[in-house]
Amino acid sequence: MTELRHIYPINISDLKPTTPSTGEPIFESVDPATLYVDPTYQRDIGERGIRQIRKMIVGWDWTKFRAPVCSYAEASGQTVLKVIDGQHTAIAAASHPRIDRIPVQIVEAADTAAQASAFIGHNVDRLGVTKLQLHQAALVAGDEDALTIQQVCDRAGVRMLLTNNGNYEPGDTVAITAIAALVRKHTAMKARQILEVLAKAELAPIGTPHVKAAELLMTDPDYCDQFEPEDLTREIATAGVTAEHEARLFAVAQKVPLWKALAITWFKKTRKRRRAAARNTSSSSQWLPCQCLSAWDLLSKLCFLR
C-alpha cells in the first residue's frame, strides 16, 4: 500500500503574507431556490449554460459537488444570500426533484463591489467565464483600469455589451480584449480618438479587426499624418461590408492577418492629406491626389508588424 503524505508547509521566508481582511467562511445547508443572483456582474444563463445545467441534473453526483459561494445581502428589506460563484450548480439543484437542500459556502462581502471583486477572484482563470463578464464585474468592483476603459468607450460613443448575443446597434462592441490592449498601449485620449473614428462610422458591431486596423492607421507615423480622422471615418462608413469582404480575400491571398488586410483596404481609398512640404509651398489647395504608399508597399511594411 502506498504510504500517505502529510500536508506540510513550504518555505515562505521570502514572502510577506497579508492578514485576511474578513473572517473565515462558514457553511450552511439551504434551499437552493432561496438563493439570488446579482445581474450587475453576473450574466443570464444562455443556451450553453442550460445544456450544462441539464447535464448536471442527469448526472448529479455528490462526490463531484462544489458548494456555491454566497454572501449575505439586503433585497427589498430582507436579508438574502446572493450567489457569487456557482449559479449553475444552484440552478441544477433547485431543478432536481430529489434535491431539497445543498451546502453553501458563505463569505464576508459587505457590498456589491466586494461581491463583484470576489466573483472575479473565483472566475478569472475559469473556462466559460468571458472577458466581458470579468470586465463588468471589475466595473462594479470599482477597478481603476476597468473604469478607464469604460470612460474611454463612453466618450468615444462606443457601447460595451455584457453578452455577445448577435443583436447589435451602431457603436456596439464586445471586443473588450482589443480595447483594453488599446487603452493600455496608448493614452486614454488617443484610445478615445481611435474608437471615435469607428463609432462615427456606425459599425455594428465594432470588432477586434476594426480596432486593430484603426489603431495602426491612427498611430503609425508612416500613415497617421496622411489623412484626417473624419476622412477615415467616411471611408469606413462608405465601404462598409465591401471593404471587409475585400480584406478577407486579401488576407487569404497574401497570408496576412485580417486586421492588417483591413487596414490596407481602408487606407488605400481614404482621402489623403496634402504632404507637409507641398502644404508649406502652396496654399491654393488643401488637398492633393493620393501621394502615398501603394497597397503593395503598405503590405510589405505591415508584414513585419506583429
> Which pLDDT tens digit goes with each residue over 224-270?
999 999 999 999 999 999 999 999 998 999 889 999 999 999 999 99
What local confidence, expressed as pLDDT, does residue 124 receive? Answer: 57
What local confidence, expressed as pLDDT, does residue 142 receive? Answer: 84
CATH topology of domain 26-120: 3.90.1530
Task: Report the amino acid identity of residue 20.
Answer: P
The answer to whether 134 touches 96, Cβ cutoff 8 Å, is no
From 24, 38, 23, 176, select the one nearest 116 (Cα to Cα): 38
For the segment 38-94, what is each residue's pLDDT rounded down to a tens digit? 888 777 788 888 999 999 999 999 999 999 999 888 888 888 999 988 999 999 999
The string of DSSP letters for 139-180 reads HHTT-HHHHHHHHHHHHHT-EE-SS--S---TTEE--HHHHH
Cell of 163: 453578452
292: left (phi over 0), alpha (psi -120 to 50) or beta: beta
Secondary structure tally for the chain: helices H, strands E? 12, 6
d(CA 299, CA 223): 13
Rg of the chain over Cα atoms, rounded to whole angstroms, equals: 26
Residue 182 burial by Cβ neighbours in a 10 Å radius (0-12, 13-18, 19+): buried
For the segment 3-47, what is each residue's pLDDT rounded down to a tens digit? 898 999 999 999 999 898 888 999 999 999 999 998 887 777 888
Q: Looking at the chain, which residues constitute the CATH 3.90.1530.10 domain(s)? A: 26-120
For the segment 178-193, what is each residue's pLDDT rounded down to a tens digit? 999 999 999 999 999 9
Cell of 264: 490596407
Question: If you average pLDDT over residues 136-145, what whole number do you get?
Answer: 84
Establish whether the linkage from the previous residue to 205 is cis, with ω within 30° of 0: yes
User: Which residues lie across from 69 on neighbouring strands?
Assistant: 85, 105
From 239, 165, 179, select the one nearest 209 (Cα to Cα): 179
Residue recorded with cell 463583484: 116
d(CA 232, CA 21): 51
Cell of 276: 507637409
Residue recorded with cell 497617421: 224
Cell of 168: 447589435
Stretch (H or E) spanning 183: helix 176-185
User: Which residues lie across from 79 on neighbouring strands?
Assistant: 74
The answer to whether 264 touches 302, Cβ cutoff 8 Å, is yes
d(CA 132, CA 253): 33
